[in-house]
Amino acid sequence: MFKKILVANRGEIALRVICACKELGIPTVAVYSEADRYSLPVRFAEEAVCIGPPRSADSYLNVASIISAAEITGAEAIHPGYGFLAESAYFAEVCQASNLTYIGPTPEVISLMGDKNRARARMAALGLAVLPGSEVIPSQEVALEEAERIGYPVLVKAVAGGGGRGMRIVHSREELPHLLQMAQNEAASSFGTPDVYLEKYIVSPRHIEFQVLGDQHGRVIHLGERECTIQRRHQKLLEESPSTQLDKEARLRVGHQIVQALEKIGYTSAGTVELLMDENRKLYFLEMNTRIQVEHPVTEMVTGLDLVKQQILIAAGGRVPIEDETLALRGHAIECRICAENPVTFAPSAGKVTVFHPPGGTGVRVDTAAYAESVIPPYYDSLIAKLVVHGKDRHEAIKRMARALEMFIVEGISTSIPVHQKIMADPDFQAGNFDTHFLSRFTSNGEG
């Protein structure tokens, strides 16, 4: 087992990794920007190193500073969390070159899955259904030809994209040149490359993903699916497991296909295969995230497995924790992402938290690094807490979430709590009838 792990992240996920390490008896090193000097990860890690000013490019994305922090503290491994460098093949390679264990997949697999076009082609070759799409678009003329072949509406997507950036929906030939340019510009700004491709746009989709674990001995397992359809601006706001759209037979069939494909590419560590479901309940491979997900707690609640611990154990040479390909899901779990945002416009709401009272009680979990008198800086993602509940069934989980949201008190900043309360009270949500546009009914600008 590792003698010391550096956590190359911030906020609730950094604290989550530190908690797992403490239970495994492994000392941790927190890295922090000047904006996070008084954060809980800094307080609870055994050591902490400042790696730069508030701007991400100068701190949490500064590979040299993070590697230096690991070397001067004697860390043996680095856990990247999610976001920042968590899907950087370059960072994983630098860790290897520096004799540090990267707690995640190999650089080669990260690189393969990080290129969405290559990933789609490889998964299609391994038997997974993919949406009709194009190769990387070299010119406007090719884009127009490919869009005609695929059929409108189409989605322009950044090859290296994520979080809804570098993405535009195109409904007609006339719209394509302008929206293509916008997507390319955003992709270049966000990911360092303007490369985009086209994909068939499903008008009323559902977003379903499968959690996987792979070890260094060639075995991969899946831990069922999460429903991630409730989104705003292509970013998830609420997740649950299991999905109302998959029965046990479908779960086993799709999970088996995913496991077989990932075993063939040598996948290791935790990962998530994201799928799009059309109006006929057919599932298409969308992309793979080669890291722990924000929403991993819902899977932990219905399986009883600590996924972050499993990542660490697998990186140390351990095996996946079950002999079968999957295990039975117990009850139902829902996660609400509590963001520092205006609940109507979703505009960020940074500032000082004057009151912070998280809910508790049976079946309630709160993952957060916020506390009363803490400051939510304007430089990073707006997520401040993940409220997760577990119930014997979906009905009980919804009731429990509604109760927990009512008891979650945050003052000093605006949060998304009112939005989540509206979702829990909505008859269509309660009945399981929704798609990715569901949230538009609660926003001032009609955006879902």
Q: Give the residue numbers annotated as catalytic, written as ranges.
A: 291
Q: What DSSP character marks residue 442?
A: G
SS3 of residue 357 by DSSP: strand
Report the relative pairing of strands 101-102 and 77-79 from DSSP bridges.
Answer: parallel
Rounded distance, CA 373 to CA 40, Å? 12
DSSP strand E in 259-397: where?
269-277, 283-289, 332-339, 351-352, 355-357, 364-368, 375-376, 383-391
Quick count: other Cβ atoms within 10 Å of Cβ 174?
8
Q: Give the list of residues 6+ apart from residue 290 with CB closer than 8 angstroms, or none.
A: 87, 104, 105, 109, 110, 113, 114, 269, 271
Rounded distance, CA 112 to CA 115, Å? 6
Rounded distance, CA 169 to CA 179, Å? 8
Q: Backbone phi, then psi, for 172, in 5-degree steps? A: -155, 165
Alpha helix segments (H runs only) across 25-139: 40-44, 63-73, 89-97, 107-114, 116-125
Cα angle value 19/50/375 (rounded, 5°): 70
**Peptide bond connecting 242 to the previous residue in cis, omega within 30 degrees of 0:** yes
As beta bridge partners, residue 277 has: 206, 283
Tokens 């860390």 belong to residue: 75
Report the candidate in 311, 325, 205 with the shortest Cα–Cα distance to residue 254.
Answer: 325
Contact call for residues 77 and 27 (beta carbons, < 8 A)? no
